[in-house]
Amino acid sequence: MTRAEQSPTAADSGASATQVFRANQQYHVGDGASPERVSAVVKALLDGVHETIRTYEVTYSEFQAAKQWLIEVGEGGEWPLFLDVFVEHEVEEVAAAGQQGSKGSILGPYYVPDAVKLPSVTSLPMRADEQGRRLVFAGQVLDTGGAPVAGAELDIWHADHEGYYSGFAPHLPEGNLRGVVVADDDGRFEISTIEPAPYQIPTDGPTGQLVQAAGWHPWRPAHLHLIVRAPGYRPITTQLYFAGGNWLDNDVAQATKPELVLDPQPQSDGTARQEYDFVLEPTSQ
Ligand code: MBD
Ligand code: FE
């Protein structure tokens, strides 16, 4: 196969993102919110739509084109992609208000639960010829009082050297560059992997078409995803970026924060090393 034939399409990643979301989500339409809250939130959302239509004198053909686009986002399975790129950062900011411990960021559409469990000093699963600069990511998980969190889990996943995620690109082996690393009794970990490339929203699907039609760019800066968790602590979902990388200052998903930028230092063995500690906040009292 040529590289072009192997390249994942928007449909590959969109359909799998929707399947993964439906398999994992614990929420159901109609659960939880009171009629008063549903009414208030949905009315505010619709008020915004109506106001936009009046302000921009939106035409019938634009209205019908929008309807067509919305149908295609659903059929292409791109609602997780679209919502995580353009909306999730705001939900994360509201959720994080008043929380202590390490900074978080958005989950995104490419998390797959139940990755392989790995010891505290480990390499992520990768291909024999995996490309990219070698990265050693090491540190300690502490609580807000400064005590180590023994056995904390670092659920880590990231894109490869071309910006593709395993599970959402048919040419990649299942579980590639994904793992649940279990910290040692001092909360310490040392993870060997490769540096990912920036992520590009697929240009052949409806989200990419919108981005192009609006003259925006489709890029996220290179990033590692992590969920750091331990019983009795609030889990931290976060992303870590790389100093000097492209798109750091204009992430299409608006999910960067200064505290989340790494600067791995080149070592004599050719790897780059980064120390980073996580701080977890206790859930109760
Ligand atoms: C990603 O890799 C990602 O992390 C987010 C938040 C959205 C789209 C692709
Ligand atoms: Fe990502």
229 in ligand 1 pocket by Cβ < 6 Å? Answer: no
pLDDT at position 116 is 98
pLDDT at position 11 is 80
Q: Are 269 and 132 in contact (CB under 8 A)?
A: no
Q: Are 178 and 112 in contact (CB under 8 A)?
A: yes
CA of 268 to the centre of ligand 2 (A): 30
CA of 198 to the centre of ligand 2 (A): 9
110 in ligand 1 pocket by Cβ < 6 Å? Answer: yes
Write down all domains in the chain, each with its CATH number in brackets: 3-282 (2.60.130.10)
Distance between CA 152 and CA 253 in Å, rounded? 28
Its pTM stands at 0.95
CA of 110 to the centre of ligand 1 (A): 7
H or E stretch at 73: helix 60-75
Distance between CA 201 and CA 209 in Å, rounded? 10
Q: Which residue has the tokens 């540096």?
A: 195
CA of 193 to the centre of ligand 2 (A): 16
Distance between CA 285 and CA 274 in Å, rounded? 34
198 in ligand 1 pocket by Cβ < 6 Å? Answer: no
Distance between CA 83 and CA 111 in Å, rounded? 15
CA of 37 to the centre of ligand 2 (A): 31
Residue in 110, 165, 168, 241 to alter for ligand 1 test, most ligand atoms within 8 A of Cβ? 110
14 in ligand 1 pocket by Cβ < 6 Å? Answer: no
Ligand 1 atom having least distance to the Cα of 106: 6
Q: What separation in angstroms does the CA of 112 have from each of 4, 29, 90, 107? A: 26, 22, 22, 11
Q: Which ligand is nearest to the CA of 157?
A: 2
pLDDT at position 6 is 57
pLDDT at position 4 is 45
In this structure, the residue with its CA closest to atom 9 of ligand 1 is: 108
- DSSP class of residue 228 equals E
pLDDT at position 285 is 55
Phi first, then psi, for residue 244 (nearest 5°) are: 80, -5
CA of 85 to the centre of ligand 1 (A): 6
How do beta strands 117-118 and 178-182 pair? Answer: parallel
pLDDT in tens, the chain (285 residues): 444 445 788 887 877 888 888 888 777 776 788 999 999 999 999 999 999 999 999 999 999 999 999 999 999 999 999 999 999 999 999 999 989 999 999 999 999 999 999 999 999 999 999 999 999 999 999 999 999 999 999 999 999 999 999 999 999 999 999 999 999 999 999 999 999 999 999 999 999 999 999 999 999 999 999 999 999 999 999 999 999 999 999 999 999 999 999 999 999 999 999 999 999 999 975
Taking alpha carbons only, the member of 201, 205, 203 closest to residue 220 is: 201
Phi first, then psi, for residue 122 (nearest 5°) are: -160, 170
106 in ligand 1 pocket by Cβ < 6 Å? Answer: yes
Q: Are 283 and 230 in contact (CB under 8 A)?
A: no
